[in-house]
């Protein structure tokens, strides 16, 4: 099944339709503001009625998000947004469900719900704001904090190996993973649209900056001096090329990736790996997700988008089939089914 093209219906909505009247209380300079603006820009352009959006979250700075969107929204408890969104989508599959979460909420306390949601392929979008720190509790290391980072609970440097969200998603048999940056609204907007278009659990990792507790956590990727060398914008069907002069590329060498320079040692553009986000085999997608500076540029864009039956569709189809074929049409039928006897 091909990705469903969202028909643009004659629903005329604007960004203002989705801005709530609540004061936004994130810190000035927080990356969350830019993400909120992008989402507000995306929602009017999806051809979906504004009443059909539901924005849900768990706990953390990012999880305040639903209060700032004028949609149906639910700010739940720490780590449980994926379970909440699953209930919403399975109970009413017509809704467009968006889960907003952070690295602690999603991959620590909510890790179990996250991997099982991905495994089941329930059709909703997960925007994972990864700032590699616990912000709301004021600066403790999270499961994505790099090893050795000094935080309030790792004053001598963290001992723990971090999760890479992309690797986690694909390892849990995820079918959609994309990565974007809070400093690139245009890219974010395009990626959020791709996430909604994909049927199934769509996970978007937004590399987001916490100005207070992990400022410049993504400095290697976002700084003006380094970004050309350390960012690789990927697109389906296009070669994996990056660099200030667009002269570097990614090549498959045996079972691993390597950086090559076009024009050197007889390398031409045809030697460069062409991105196929629809490839069912997860091998290259995992390797692309794992690429990190300083060794590699970080891959930004849709890394994996593979069609697969969704949990909610299977539930709907099974219900429709059972309703059609079962002799039991209502609870009276059920009560009177099987072994009964009558007292005259």
Partner 1 sequence: MTLKKNKVVGLEQVVVRFAGDSGDGMQLTGSLFSDSTAFAGNDFATFPDYPAEIRAPQGTVAGVSGFQIHFGRKTVYTSGDLADVLIAMNPASLKANMKWIKQGAIVILDIDTFTEKGFEKAGYKSDPTLDGSLDGYNLIKAPISNLTKEALISLNLDNKSVLKSKNMFSLGIIMYMFNREIDLVSKYFETKFKANPLVIEANKMVLAAGFNYADTLEVLGSTFKVEPAPLEKGKYRNITGNVATAWGLMAASERSGRELFLGSYPITPATEILQELAKHKDLSVRAFQAEDEIAGIVSAIGASFTGSLAVTTTSGPGLSLKSEAIGLAVMTELPLVIVDVQRGGPSTGLPTKSEQSDLLQALFGRNGDAPVIIIAAQSSVDCFYSAFEAAKLSLEHMTPAILLTDGSLANGSEVFKIPKVADLPKINPPLVKANDPDYKPYRRDPEKLNRFWAIPGTDGLRHRIGGLEKEDGSGNVSHDPMNHQRMTLLREEKVMRVANYLPDQIVYGDENADLLVVSWGGTYGVMRTVVEKMQRQGKSVSLAHFRYIMPLPKNTETILSKFKRIVVCEINNGQFVKYMRMNFPQYKYEQYNKIQGLPFMVAELEEKFNALLKN
Which residues bind to partner 1, rule: CB under 8 A?
Answer: 20, 22, 49-52, 54, 56, 59, 66-67, 69-77, 80, 82-92, 94-95, 112-113, 116, 315, 318-319, 322-323, 325-326, 328-332, 334-336, 338-344
Residue 143 · residue 110 · CB < 8 Å: no
CB of 62 to partner 1, least distance (A): 14
| Residue 300: its H or E element | strand 298-305
Measured from the CB atom, is 18 or 192 closer to partner 1?
Answer: 18
Of 94 and 224, which CB lies nearer to partner 1 in the complex structure?
94
The distance of closest approach from Cβ of residue 165 to partner 1 in the complex, given in angstroms and rounded to an integer, is 18
**Residue 84 or 217: which CB sits closer to partner 1?**
84
Is 81:101 a contact under the CB 8 Å cutoff? yes
**Closest approach of Cβ 71 to partner 1, in Å?**
6
Q: What is the closest distance, in whole angstroms, from the C-beta atom of residue 118 to partner 1 in the complex?
A: 11
Burial of 130 (0-12, 13-18, 19+ CB in 10 A): buried
Residue burial 297-308, b: 16+ Cβ < 10 Å; e: rest:
bbbbbbbbbbbe
**DSSP secondary structure, 212-255, as one string:** TTSTTTTHHHHSTTTHHHHEEE--TTSB-EESTTS-EEEEEETT
Q: Decide whether 161 or 329 has the Cβ nearer to partner 1.
A: 329
Cβ atoms 165, 131 nearer than 8 A: no
CB of 188 to partner 1, least distance (A): 23
Give the tokens for residue 332: 């009276």
Rounded distance between C-alpha atoms, residue 55 and residue 71, angstroms: 7
Name the pairing type of β-strands 125-130 and 202-207: parallel
User: Given the complex with partner 1, which of 120 and 248 has the nearer CB atom?
Assistant: 120
Nearer to partner 1 among residue 70 and residue 151 (C-beta): 70
Gap between the Cα atoms of 314 and 116, Å rounded: 16
CB of 54 to partner 1, least distance (A): 5
Tell me how far, at minimum, the Cβ of 286 lies from partner 1, in Å: 23
Nearer to partner 1, 95 or 288 (CB): 95
């Amino acid at each position: 099944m091909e990705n469903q093209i969202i028909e643009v219906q004659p629903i005329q909505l604007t960004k203002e339709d989705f801005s709530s009247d609540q004061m936004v209380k994130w810190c000035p300079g927080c990356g969350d503001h830019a993400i909120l603006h992008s989402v507000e820009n995306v929602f009017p352009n999806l051809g979906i009625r504004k009443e059909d959006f539901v924005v849900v979250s768990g706990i953390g700075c990012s999880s305040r998000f639903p209060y700032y969107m004028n949609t149906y929204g639910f700010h739940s408890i720490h780590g449980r947004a994926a379970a909440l969104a699953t209930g919403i989508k399975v109970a009413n599959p017509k809704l467009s469900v968006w889960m907003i979460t952070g690295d602690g909420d999603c991959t620590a306390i909510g890790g179990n719900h996250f991997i099982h949601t991905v495994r089941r392929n329930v059709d909703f979008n997960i925007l994972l704001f990864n700032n590699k720190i616990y912000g709301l509790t004021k600066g403790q290391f999270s499961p994505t904090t790099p090893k050795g980072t000094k935080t309030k609970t790792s004053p001598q440097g963290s001992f723990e190996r971090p999760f890479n969200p992309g690797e986690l998603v694909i390892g849990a048999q995820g079918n959609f993973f994309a990565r974007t940056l809070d400093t690139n609204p245009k890219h974010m907007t395009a990626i959020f649209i791709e996430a909604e278009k994909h049927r199934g659990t769509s996970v978007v990792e937004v590399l987001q900056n916490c100005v207070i507790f992990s400022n410049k956590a993504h400095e290697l990727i976002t700084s003006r001096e380094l970004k050309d060398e350390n960012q690789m914008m990927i697109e389906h069907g296009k070669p994996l090329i990056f660099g200030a002069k667009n002269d570097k590329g990614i090549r498959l060498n045996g079972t691993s990736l390597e950086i090559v320079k076009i024009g050197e040692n007889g390398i031409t553009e045809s030697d460069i790996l062409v991105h196929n986000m629809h490839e069912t085999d997860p091998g290259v997608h995992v390797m692309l997700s794992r690429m990190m500076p300083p060794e590699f540029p970080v891959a930004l864009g849709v890394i994996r988008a593979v069609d697969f039956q969704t949990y909610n569709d299977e539930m709907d189809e099974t219900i429709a089939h059972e309703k059609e074929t079962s002799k039991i049409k209502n609870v009276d039928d059920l009560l009177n089914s099987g072994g009964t006897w009558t007292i005259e």
